[in-house]
Amino acid sequence: MKQVFALLLSIGSLAAFGQNVNGYVIYNAKGKKVSYEKMVKSLSKSNVILFGEYHNNPISHWLELEVTKSLHNNFNLTLGAEMIERDNHDELQLYLKDSIDQKGLDSMARLWNNHKTDYKPLVDFAKDSGLNFIGCNIPRRYASLVYKKDFGALDTLSAEEKSWIAPLPIPFDSSLSQYVAMLAMMGGHGGPTIVKAQAIKDATMAHFILEHYTISEENKFLHYNGSFHSDFYQGIMWYLQTYSPGIQVGTIATVSQADNSKLDKSHIGRADFIICVDEDMTTTY
């Protein structure tokens, strides 16, 4: 009997130290755990896939590359990103065509501080695979202009400057829940123009996705953006469906939890697939 008791005690001790530790878990919109393979298979039915990331999360960046590789194996893939602003699109194309090297791109384009660790692998995969990579975001200075002076300030821009932005005037719905939530998070600071600055980014990214995408079953456009830009099927997705009714859009969101063994209710319905990362995961900056 003592031997049995000792064995049970040993097993209990091992269980205490052997809890299941997962860096991330993938859930569907209803909060059910799904495999990576099932996620990719489902997203493959969409025309455009919006990958919502946390900008400093290594799991987001790793899975972005893995999803890119998986889709490239079976479809004609075009890539695009929030992280390359539209007035740097031409410089990006020079890099993809080997007309300039990384040092040249660094000096000619306004790259994010974490480009080398987090986005260069995606750009280089496109370069090595002969894929196009589109700079989709509005130049930040014009989003700042909207924040300071409202949409009307964009009317003063030159024709070249306007070519880097979605056609004006853009449709805008201030009642969308994510915009309402954004204003609430700011505690009233910044006023309604801070939401309009977000909207001009969303509209511009949607516009340039559509400009570089031809709808077909074989063609897919994979876009990398901060999760807030596509969470709850809004932001970029709202503009995609406004500009191109009927387009099929798949979404991924990234969230972080102390315990990722079950998805918090607040994240249910955030996207078609939710990557739930352990909040102890290291960050890239």
CATH number of this structure's domain 22-278:
3.40.50.11550
Q: What is the pLDDT along the chain (285 residues), one digit of tens a residue?
A: 444 434 333 434 434 444 567 899 999 999 999 999 999 999 999 999 999 999 999 999 999 999 999 999 999 999 999 999 999 999 999 999 999 999 999 999 999 999 999 999 999 999 999 999 999 999 999 999 999 999 999 999 999 999 999 999 999 999 999 999 998 888 767 689 999 999 999 999 999 999 999 999 999 999 999 999 999 999 999 999 999 999 999 999 999 999 999 999 999 999 999 999 999 999 999
Q: Which helix (H) or strand (E) holds 257?
A: strand 249-257
Structural contact between residues 237 and 230, judged by C-beta atoms closer than 8 angstroms = yes
**C-alpha–C-alpha distance, residues 205 and 208, integer Å:** 5
Strands 48-53, 219-226: pairing is: parallel
- The pLDDT of residue 10: 42
Q: How many residues does the chain have?
A: 285
Q: How far apart are CA 100 and CA 106, in angstroms?
A: 10
Quote the pLDDT of residue 19: 53
State pTM to two decimals: 0.92
Question: What SS3 class is residue 225?
Answer: strand
Which pLDDT score is estimated for 159?
98
pLDDT in the model for residue 188: 63
- Give the pLDDT confidence score for residue 14 in this predicted structure: 37
pLDDT score at 186: 80
Q: How many whole angstroms separate alpha carbon 186 and alpha carbon 151?
A: 20
pLDDT at 3: 47
- Distance between CA atoms of residues 5 and 270, nearest Å: 48
- Rounded-to-integer distance, Cα 264 and Cα 170, Å: 35
The number of beta carbons lying within 10 Å of the beta carbon of residue 159 is 6
Residue 22 corresponds to which amino acid? N
